[in-house]
Every structure is written in C-alpha cells, then in structure tokens.
Amino acid sequence: MTTFQSVFASFLSGDGELYRILGLTVCMTLLSTGFSVLAGFPSGALLASSSFPGKKLLRRIIQTFMGLPPVVAGLFVFLLLSRKGPLGDLSLLFSLPAMVIAQFLLIFPIITSLTLSAIESKQSAIRQTISTLGLPRYKMYLLMLWECRRSLLTVILTGFGRALSEVGAVMMVGGNIQGKTRVMTTAIMLETGKGNFGTAIAMGLVLLILAFIVNIIANHFQEAVYE
C-alpha cells in the first residue's frame, strides 16, 4: 500500500521520471495514431467509394491485419531497422520513430478497415446527396468523411487505445531505454519483473486515468456533433 501511495505522491509532486515516461507515452501514441489516421481515413474512403476486382480479397487481408500480433509487427520492424537489416544505416532502432513505425503497422489496418465500414454503412444516403452537388472527387471524399465524423471519432479512439495499451512491439523496437524509449506499458513490465507489484499496478491506474481523460474529451466532441 505504501508503494502505491508513493507512486501517486510522486505523480502529484511532479516527479521527473514518471512524467517523462508519461510524456513519451502520450507523444508516441499521438504520433502513431495521427499517422495512421492520416493514411487510414483516405484509404478507407477510397476503398468504400470504388469498386474493382479483388476488392473483397483486399478487404479481407486488411481485416486480417487488424489482428496482427504486436510481437510480429515488432519483429518485422526490428529486422528492417537492425544494423544488418535493409534500413540499418538510418540507425533508427531503439528510438521513438521505430516505435511509431511499429505501431503504425498495427493501427493503420484498424483505422482503414473501420473507416471503410463506417462509410459504407452511410454510403447510399451520402452518395445521393453528394452526387447532386457535382463536387470534385477529393471534395467528395472529404464530405463523406465529414458526414461520418461521429463514428470516425470512435475509430480514432479505437486506434488510440491500441497504441496506448500495446507493449510487445514497442518493447522489441524501442528497447525500454530509460529516459529515451521507456513508455508506461514497458515500465509496468519492468516494475513487475523487479517484483514491485505495487508500483506496477499504480502505473497501470495512471494509464487508465489517461485513457479515461482522452475518452471524456472525445465524447465531448461527439456530443457536440449531435447538437
């Protein structure tokens, strides 16, 4: 119980170490979710509004990648960025960009696939409206995304949650280096390994609170959309 309180005390008093870990976690999560949204929204919209042979197959492949095990994504990025790997010269391994790349591999399929479903469920209604406007293609996509903004917010939250909770991939390619690539989940793993269960569970709670705050903000936006 004392370790428990001490973690919260150090959290409230602004202890440097914990804040650095938390800051890095937020930074990494925002970056990987952001990039995935930037790439996933257009891909989803494009897929929803076009039809071509093999679309069904492509869709199933993307859906399969939604369940990509984090360690597999981590292993892939590790081999890619390793000194002996094809991108070894960039020396990106064990850095924040490496973690963002690995997480992108995990979250991009989720965002794409969910965006595709969200748009498809509304498509017929939107299509009719949009086609009467005679807009250029890219504006049509934007309008389509805008019309689905409420469900797309949930899509972003899903990706965000995956990024926040993921540990296997970031452990592998980030390396859990103190002050450089240590995020909340890997820090929790470390404290558990040390046998500091109280500290570990307290950090887990901090992570949950963070997720809760993000959800409150997102719900606020969602309600604003309704009004």
Partner 1 sequence: MIKRSLITHARKSTVLITIALLVLLPACRQAAADTTSAVDTSIALTSSQADESVPETTSMDTTALITEAVVPEPENPIVRLSTTTSVSDSGLLPVLEEIFEKNTGYDLEIIANGTGAAIKLGESGDADVLLVHAKASEDEFVTAGYGVERIPFMHNYFVVAGAAEDTAKVAECQDALSAFAAIADAEAPFISRGDDSGTNKAELKIWENAGITPSGDWYISAGKGMGPCLIMAGEMKAYILTDKATFLATKEETELQICLGESGDLKNTYSLIAVNPDKNQGVNSEGAQAWIDFMLSDEAGAIITDFGLEEYGEPLFFYDGAPSIT
User: Closest CB to partner 1 among 83 and 220?
Assistant: 83
CA–CA distances in Å: residue 96 to residues 29, 49, 92: 11, 35, 8
Burial of 20 (C-beta count, 10 Å sphere; 0-12/13-18/19+): middle
Helices 16-49 and 149-165: crossing angle in degrees, nearest 10, is 140
Q: Does 196 bind partner 1 (CB under 8 A)?
A: yes
User: Closest CB to partner 1 among 98 and 107?
Assistant: 98
Q: Does 71 bind partner 1 (CB under 8 A)?
A: no
The interface region with partner 1, picked from 22-30, 43-51, 174-182, 213-221 by CB under 8 A, is: 174-182
The torsion defined by the Cα of 64, 175, 213 and 117, in degrees rounded to 10, comes to: -10
Contact 125, 211 (CB under 8 A): no
The residue behind tokens 């010269």 is 89
Considering only residues 34, 97, 161, 175, which one is a binding residue for partner 1 as defined by CB under 8 A? 175
User: Closest CB to partner 1 among 152 and 191?
Assistant: 191
Q: Does 101 bind partner 1 (CB under 8 A)?
A: no
The interface region with partner 1, picked from 97-105, 125-133, 171-179, 210-218 by CB under 8 A, is: 171-179
Rg (CA), the chain: 20
Considering only residues 5, 64, 82, 215, which one is a binding residue for partner 1 as defined by CB under 8 A? 82
Give the distance from CA 152 to its chain's centroid: 14
The length of the chain, given as a count of residues: 227
Q: How many residues bind partner 1 (CB under 8 A)?
A: 21
The interface region with partner 1, picked from 29-37, 39-47, 50-58, 173-181 by CB under 8 A, is: 173-181
Q: Does 53 bind partner 1 (CB under 8 A)?
A: no
Contacts of 137 (CB under 8 A, 6+ apart): none
Considering only residues 192, 204, 210, 218, which one is a binding residue for partner 1 as defined by CB under 8 A? 192
Q: Does 195 bind partner 1 (CB under 8 A)?
A: yes
Binding residues for partner 1, rule: CB under 8 A, are 82-83, 93-94, 171, 175-180, 182, 186-187, 190, 192-197
